[in-house]
Structure 1
Amino acid sequence: MDLIALTDWLGESPVAALFGLATGLTFGVAAQRSRFCLRAATVSFARGRLDDKVAVWLLTFSTAVVWVQGAYLLGLINVPEARMMAVTGSWSGAIIGGLMFGVGMVLARGCSGRLLVLAATGNLRSVVSGLVFAVVAQMTMGGWLKPVRDKIAGLWITDGGRNLDLLAALHLPNWGGLAFGVATALLALEISRRNRIGASRLIFGAGVGFAVALGWVLTSALARISFDPMPIESATFTGPSANTLMFFLDRNAVLEFDIGLVPGVFIGAFLASLWAREFRFQGFEGEANMRRALTGAALMGFGGMLAGGCAIGAGVTGGSIFAGTAWAALTAFWIGGMITDFVVDQKGGAAVSRPA
């Protein structure tokens, strides 16, 4: 059955949700098996280590760039019309929100995407933190915190009513993004070799990047045949977490890519953890850890919505299409995370950060 026949049979919104489910399942399995986590990579780098966590993050990021830019050159992704690229970007939101998100992911011991994956493996700390994250994100998107977000985001915006295309701004050729991705992948593989990372983990790490490209390709294909305008998007967890929460609370909510994505990640990570016999229940270890995690989750909910995406949405998905504010947010994630690790966990004498 071709895509037109499928949309005629099911409708465009259910097909978008199915595409989100497929993207999420791929992401969930790959992220669980590779232990991909920006927060873990940030902490390692802050402590002067180029270890397996840094290698896996670099491999995921670089393979996302390679897959996405390769698909763009083949005409499979309409990057200029991607949702993140086609709207005005906020530099102030990316920087301030990115710093807040970076602080939050270290306090919560995992970025929003990692919390979702861990929740699927029985980590009850991540379940609670994820719910706080989703509620605060919803409040920031359309609730009491929206005026604060709008005011900060409006301080410094991109020109021309669109986000900045970094490749175009730097006058690089169309294949410049692909070349950058390949070079970064080679660096990731060299760090992986030095840390003797197994082939299985490398394949799954690259699979996270592939999931990002899969989302872009599927939504681009749907947008091309859709009667109504359909957003071209891929994996991100700030807005989708809030939308998924409201979908189960509002009887009038409609299906969309986001509604398939979040459950897809959860199901994929759950099945992967069962297959590897890694599913086990875990809870908070004391009131101080709970307070720290919930504070971090709240900071990520507001910061991620302000920044225009989370560690995945801006850091990998937006970075793979070279959206200017996404790269600004990614830089702020790293800076905020490293500073927080140094002040709270190293210099501050807090409990040593556990692996994500």
Structure 2
Amino acid sequence: MESSAQLVIFAGLAIGLIYGAVGLLSGFCLMSSMRGWLAEGDGRLVRTYALAVAVAIAASQILAGGGTVDLGKSIYLQPTFSAPVLFLGGLLFGYGMVLSNGCGSRALVLLGRGNLRSFVVVIVLGIAAQMTLKGLIAPARIALVQVSQATANSNSLPSLLATLGLGETVSRTLAAAAIVVALMLFAFAHAGFRRSPGQIAAGIIVGLLVAGGWFVTGYLGADDFNPVPVTSLTFIAPIADALQYAMLSTGLTPNFGIATVAGVFAGSLTTALASGRFKLEGYSSPRHMLRSGSGAALMGIGGVMAFGCSIGQGLTGLSTLALASFVAVAGILLGTAAGLRGALRVQPLAVA
């Protein structure tokens, strides 16, 4: 394996280790954030997520604006995309996230803490994602994309502003600054969040990890003879790839995503053992398992359709300011909200 590819893998492992530790200690999760905000009236975690998005956008756009990383090589900034499929995928993922009580990254974190429910979620999510990427569901997904995709003159907020006659640097700066300032104001307007240094630190660290992923794959991994895909934190396809690698490692090559998945689990496990938080947990009933597995399947299918999850699109995709990412995230937020409130609300399970 080439040295640049090895460096990317080790860096991905390190990023995963940090994310796993931070995720366990802070409870970082979009679903938990929205549940706390919408259902329980606690807005601290959603502010943590908002701060992470703000930091990810600011740091990533600095890298892109300085020419260090070409975000245009990522999957998010493509000239054609299917807004209906992205939105539908986001809806499925968001609702599945509520059914499973957390996203794919959160499942990895909880698995490291000894939560065996998360083992089922990770396995089912990975299988459903692989089926949607390359298996039985793939032809239907591809057909939907082909009949609904369109070519956009502008594929990002900066390029949209550029159509008004603004220069590239000015467009990038204005778009990033407007969103970052709005998110920061939202985060720090909450008194409880301002008094939570751990949550503030978690938001900053996770946001920087997104930019770190871009730097690792887009700069350290930039090799004309053996280039690696330009990507950052995302968990749907990487979980599927990690499961496949675990079964067929002799015929596959590890990559940044697989290393990150392994790192998140290892980081969470190490932190749980060191802090005394490790505890084996299981399902309370067959119905609980069915609900959790169904949610995982929806996350796997929807995450592939949406080109990412609450982290892959909600943080990494948004950090590119891609219009497609805003569409996918809108679907994720709406699907999550539907599962938490309203007629489609997922009802709490009775304690056995």
Say yes or no: TM over 0.5.
yes
Deviation at 1:352, TM superposition (A): 8.4
Query: Matched residues in 2 for 1:174 and 1:342: separation?
Result: 36
Shift of 1:233: 0.4
Give 1:312's aligned amino acid. Answer: I
2:188 maps to a residue whose letter is: L
1:106–1:340 Cα contact (<8 Å) kept: yes
Offset of residue 95 of structure 1:
0.6
* Alignment counterpart, residue 170 of structure 1, candidates 161, 179, 201: 161
What CA distance in whole angstroms lies between the structure 1 residues aligned with 2:94 and 2:281?
24
Work out whether 1:315 is the aligned partner of 2:314.
yes
Change in 2 beyond 3 A, CA 1:275/1:185: farther
Of 41, 47, 59 in structure 2, the residue corresponding to residue 55 of structure 1 is: 47
The 2-side partners of 1:20 and 1:146 are apart by 28
CA distance in 2, matches of 1:119, 1:338: 25
Aligned to 2:283: 284
Contact kept in structure 2, 1:103 and 1:296, CA below 8 Å? yes
TM-score, structure 2 length as denominator? Answer: 0.90
Matches of 1:252 and 1:349, distance apart in 2: 44
Instruction: Provide closer, same or farther for how the CA distance between residues 23 and 344 of structure 1 changes in structure 2, counting only shifts above 3 A.
Output: farther
Moved over 4 A (4+): 343-346
Q: Contact between 1:139 and 1:145, CA under 8 Å: does it hold in 2?
A: yes
Return the offset for 1:36: 0.9
| Deviations 1:13-53 (CA, angstroms, capped at 9, x unpaired) | 32332222122122212222221111112223433835112
Identify the match of residue 107 of structure 1 among 83, 95, 99. Answer: 99
The question of 1:74 aligning with 2:66 is answered: yes
Distance (whole Å) between structure 2 residues aligned to residue 230 and residue 298 of structure 1: 29
1:181 aligns with 2:180: yes
In the aligned structure 1, how far is the partner of 2:5 from the partner of 2:127?
Answer: 24
Identity %: 30
Give unmatched runs, 5+ long, in structure 2. Answer: 163-169
Matches within 5 A, 1:22-41: 22-41=14-33
Give the structure 1 partner of residue 215 of structure 2.
217
RMSD: 2.3
Q: Which of 137, 143, 154 is residue 145 of structure 1 equivalent to?
A: 137
Matches of 1:249 and 1:299, distance apart in 2: 23
Kept after mapping to 1: 8 A contact 2:21/2:268: yes
Structure 1 residue 155, shift from structure 2 partner: 3.3
Quick one: distance in 1 between partners of 2:53 and 2:256?
A: 22
**Per-residue CA distance 1:302-353 (angstroms, 9 max, x = gap):** 000011011110111001111111111111111011112224785x653389
Matched residue SS, 2:54: helix
